[in-house]
Structure 1
Amino acid sequence: MNKRLSPWRLGATLYMPATRTDISDAILKNKIAGLRSLIICLEDAVSENDIPQALNNLRQLTLMLAKAKAAGGNTHWPLVFIRPRHAEMGELLVATLDLSAIDGFVLPKFTLASLPCWWNLMQDTHLCMMPTLETEEVFDVLQMRELATTLKHHPCHQRIIALRIGGNDLMNVVALRRSRSQTLYDGPLGYVIKMLVAVFSSRDFALTAPVCEHIDDHQMMDKELALDMAHGLVGKTAIHPNQISTIEKALMVQPADHADALRILNSSQAVFKSQGSMCEPATHRRWASEVLARAQVYGIATEQAQESIRLLTTEA
């Protein structure tokens, strides 16, 4: 069984419709600066009429990637995932395509009821999984608790990199669209994200943050990313390349947090003061480990980045 990849390797995960003909450039030629992971989408981003074209594009792409990987050319590639339209399409992809260069599947509209079907088609592959939580059931804490408990003890657990929170689909369930003047946390999704963090993170699952669809509002993006980080989310969906650098900057570790994390993991004291705050290794150790794992991938923020955060906090 393939061990799951670290969720910290996801960064800003860019969605690209499978109808696009330039996906190979993003993977093979590093045409998108800073791209760590991308999802080739066959679901919501592709209309029903375009499915044949999308499948044909994907077939050609997977052959090209498999050939390049066999030649040892995948050292610096971003992680590559495919988002099938449904489990039946996923079964078709596994049966007919060369997926040797693909890292995993994003599982749309994932529920407890759909788990057996998805696992049946994926268990004998090398593919990792990123289930997407985006249906009516997600608003029910009891159903989410049952799902999280089942996944924790299921053989698929070691294949799940992270669970993706599908913000737009969840807003659609309650007949809303996110406000242009507020973060996603200011509406009903604020409750949902908090609940999912409580239910899934406590069972050792990582969660990724929903997309910020207001592409040109960088101030809104910064505010929302600060809240994403405060909730322990490990990355964020991107829908445009110009969002990648902003997400990457937010994922950098603040120097004060890095210093505290090192002290917590290396101290023999039960409780001590650091930078004006109490540190208690018994309760802060998991946080400290995650901080160092994130710093290893994204680095430590510079003074300029810290100043941007101070200004943002002041303006807020």
Structure 2
Amino acid sequence: MNERLSPWRLGATLYMPATRTDIADAVLHNKIDGLRSLVICLEDAVSDADIPLARRNLRQVLTHLAAAKKLQGNVNWPLVFVRPRDITMGAELAADWDLSGVDGLVLPKFTRHCLPVWWAMLKDSHLCMMPTLETEEVFDVVQMRELAAALANHPCRQRIIALRIGGNDLMNVVSLRRSREFTLYDGPMGYVIKMLVSVFATRDFALTAPVCEHIDDRKIMDRELALDMLHGLVGKTAIHPSQIGIIEAALMVSASDHADALRILNSSQAVFKSQGAMCEPATHRRWASAILARAQVYGIVSEKNQDALRLMTALTKS
């Protein structure tokens, strides 16, 4: 997988309904500040009645993107994915539509049993995959272990940029909606995210965080993003452009973490003290590599901004 398709380059992945008429403009002319990746959605973001309109609009968008890519390539574009409504629509898109201008598909309601069907339609294409974990099976650790093992040993492995955690669909499975007062981690999804990280990250799969649907509540967003980073998630779904900058800021690396990561990867000592904490390269090397990869994309928070961030975090917890 080339550097452009690194999971660290997803950042805030903005979902845009396929009914929108400004998608090609947003991609080709960088109309949305900070946008690194977007998903053109034909599933939850589009009503049944609007599917014909969404399909017509998507075809026009794909035509524009394909033509532009032939002329200029897509080096400076955001990563672009299409999320079909279901497997049937996915098969149609892969077989009959010009997807040369997009990077991949987001696979809805992904399970181990549908893996062979998705792979059969995508294996001969250039398209990468972002399976979405959002069905009842996700709550079952045994089924998630079986899925992780199946993906780890499958030829599709090199095409998977990241696995997306579908928070709202998973909450719907247990008849809940996220609270306005608490983060997603304070309810059942706290268990689910921890379990998915334990099962998939141990096999080197990247995971992205669910959307925070409370767009205007900065306190909840900041607290949740801090927990996303604590769990090693590589990006977060966004549903509004105003969330992009907030997510990008959370993905920046602290100066102290960056310094520790450099020392860990360059030290010949088995154990050493750094900034009041023990560093052990044998056990911290993978963390350090991830920190440097993240810093290369998102940058480093200055000490002044880091102190302000600590204060803001303390205030949001009070």
Spell out the pairing of 1:97-108 with structure 2 (5 A cutoff).
Answer: 97-108=97-108
> Is the 2:255–2:303 contact (alpha carbons within 8 Å) kept by the matching residues of 1?
no
Moved over 4 A (4+): 1-4
> Is the 1:12–1:248 contact (alpha carbons within 8 Å) kept by the matching residues of 2?
yes
| Alpha-carbon separation, structure 2, partners of 1:259 and 1:158 | 31
> Is the 2:10–2:79 contact (alpha carbons within 8 Å) kept by the matching residues of 1?
yes
Equivalent position SS for 1:214: coil
Match of 1:115 in 2: 115
> Is the 1:162–1:206 contact (alpha carbons within 8 Å) kept by the matching residues of 2?
yes
> Is the 2:26–2:32 contact (alpha carbons within 8 Å) kept by the matching residues of 1?
yes
Match of 1:47 in 2: 47
Match of 1:146 in 2: 146
Equivalent position SS for 1:110: coil
Shift of 1:305: 3.0
1:279 and 2:279 correspond: yes
Q: Deviations over 1:24-74 (max 9, x none)?
A: 111011110000000000001111111111111111111111111111152
Query: What is the identity, as a one-letter code, of the residue corresponding to 1:259?
Result: A
TM-score, length-scaled by structure 1: 0.98
Query: What is the identity, as a one-letter code, of the residue corresponding to 2:60?
Result: Q
| Alpha-carbon separation, structure 2, partners of 1:139 and 1:67 | 43
Q: How many residues align?
A: 316
> Is the 1:211–1:239 contact (alpha carbons within 8 Å) kept by the matching residues of 2?
yes
| Alpha-carbon separation, structure 2, partners of 1:259 and 1:11 | 22
> Is the 2:12–2:37 contact (alpha carbons within 8 Å) kept by the matching residues of 1?
yes
Larger CA deviation: 52-61 vs 236-245: 52-61
Match of 1:61 in 2: 61
> Is the 1:2–1:126 contact (alpha carbons within 8 Å) kept by the matching residues of 2?
no
Larger CA deviation: 66-75 vs 163-172: 66-75
Match of 1:173 in 2: 173
Query: What is the identity, as a one-letter code, of the residue corresponding to 1:40?
Result: I
Shift of 1:134: 0.3
Query: What is the identity, as a one-letter code, of the residue corresponding to 1:278?
Result: M
Larger CA deviation: 261-270 vs 3-12: 3-12
Match of 1:266 in 2: 266
Shift of 1:75: 2.7
User: Identity over the aligned pairs, expressed in percent?
Assistant: 74
Shift of 1:287: 0.3
1:159 and 2:159 correspond: yes
> Is the 2:260–2:274 contact (alpha carbons within 8 Å) kept by the matching residues of 1?
yes
Match of 2:218 in 1: 218
Distance 1:81 1:60, change over 3 A: same
Shift of 1:2: 8.1
> Is the 2:222–2:313 contact (alpha carbons within 8 Å) kept by the matching residues of 1?
no
| Alpha-carbon separation, structure 2, partners of 1:2 and 1:108 | 24
| Alpha-carbon separation, structure 2, partners of 1:246 and 1:295 | 16
Stretches of structure 1 that go unaligned for 5 or more consecutive residues are none
Shift of 1:85: 0.5
Spell out the pairing of 1:193-204 with structure 2 (5 A cutoff).
Answer: 193-204=193-204
Match of 2:312 in 1: 312
| Alpha-carbon separation, structure 1, partners of 2:291 and 2:203 | 18
> Is the 1:4–1:128 contact (alpha carbons within 8 Å) kept by the matching residues of 2?
no
Taking only aligned residues, the RMSD between alpha carbons, in angstroms, comes to 1.3
Distance 1:176 1:215, change over 3 A: same
Match of 1:8 in 2: 8
Stretches of structure 2 that go unaligned for 5 or more consecutive residues are none
> Is the 1:265–1:285 contact (alpha carbons within 8 Å) kept by the matching residues of 2?
yes
> Is the 1:182–1:220 contact (alpha carbons within 8 Å) kept by the matching residues of 2?
yes
